[in-house]
Amino acid sequence: MKTVLVIGSTGSVGKAALTGLSEHKVITANRSGESADHAVDITSETSLKALFDTIGKVDAVVNTVGFCEYATFHEMTDQQWRATIDSKLIGQMNVVRVGTEYVTDGGSFTLISGILSVKPIPYAIADATTSGAIETFAKCVAFEMPRGLRINVINPTVLAESWDVYGEMMPGFQPVPSTLVGKAFQRSVDGFISGQVLTVDA
């Protein structure tokens, strides 16, 4: 049994990740602290440091947080780009940078991207761009991780549980059940792979 920190545990992807981690001792966190063990803001190094100082060492960190703004490229404001980049790219990189010293030898990080990085749709340019960037980050930083630490990214298509929210934007996409996405998180946490993007598509 491992101790696994799941950030964004109350979101759709966070709940999916939890389905794959039931064998482990899970510590949950989200921004509000509601229905989670801890509150944290991944866009703040100070907040992340405070969380890790409170919980101490863990064997794995799973981040499912990545806020995205949706608009066409020509409508997207500088502020909307920065909000997306601050969360889905720099926020996730913060989790790794701040969290590294708190993860036990041979432990792992698992981050989130999304299928729109390889299957573009209208209005999702910020999601797609930051998803692609976090995948490149993970592939590269895997070579720099100390003490046998591993890092992977889960790239799911739309969850069946999120179809009501995103389905209209995604004609022709086939949603997948969250339990299938949970398996990918399990494979990242319990396996030995590193620097990989685990795609979950139908």
Ligand X SMILES: NC(=O)c1ccc[n+]([C@@H]2O[C@H](COP(=O)([O-])OP(=O)(O)OC[C@H]3O[C@@H](n4cnc5c(N)ncnc54)[C@H](OP(=O)(O)O)[C@@H]3O)[C@@H](O)[C@H]2O)c1
**What are residue 4's phi and psi, to 5 degrees?**
-125, 125
Burial of 56 (0-12, 13-18, 19+ CB in 10 A): exposed
Binding residue for ligand X (CB under 6 A) from 2, 3, 19, 43? Answer: 43
C-beta of residue 88 within 8 angstroms of C-beta of residue 42: no
Residues in the chain: 202
Q: How far is the C-alpha of 100 from the C-alpha of 30, rounded, in Å?
A: 19
CA 188 to the chain's CA centroid: 12
Q: How far is the C-alpha of 95 from the C-alpha of 168, rounded, in Å?
A: 32
Residue 41 as a binder of ligand X (CB under 6 A): the answer is yes
Residue 31 as a binder of ligand X (CB under 6 A): the answer is yes
Residue 3 as a binder of ligand X (CB under 6 A): the answer is no
Scanning 31-39, 53-61, 137-145, 186-194 for contacts with ligand X by CB under 6 A, the matching segment is 31-39
Binding residue for ligand X (CB under 6 A) from 26, 60, 64, 117? Answer: 64
Of 18, 22, 25, 20, which is closest to residue 4 (Cα–Cα)?
25
Structure-token match 């004609």, residue found: 171
Report the residue number whose CB is nearest to ligand X: 11
C-beta of residue 50 within 8 angstroms of C-beta of residue 63: no
Would you say 51 or 106 has its CB closer to ligand X? 51
Residue 10 as a binder of ligand X (CB under 6 A): the answer is yes
- Residues between 110 and 169 that touch ligand X (CB under 6 A): 112, 114, 127, 156, 158-159, 162, 166
Binding residue for ligand X (CB under 6 A) from 20, 66, 107, 132? Answer: 66
Residue 100 as a binder of ligand X (CB under 6 A): the answer is no
Residue 5 as a binder of ligand X (CB under 6 A): the answer is no
Would you say 65 or 189 has its CB closer to ligand X? 65
Site residues for ligand X per CB under 6 A = 7-8, 10-14, 30-32, 34, 40-43, 64-68, 87-88, 91, 112, 114, 127, 156, 158-159, 162, 166
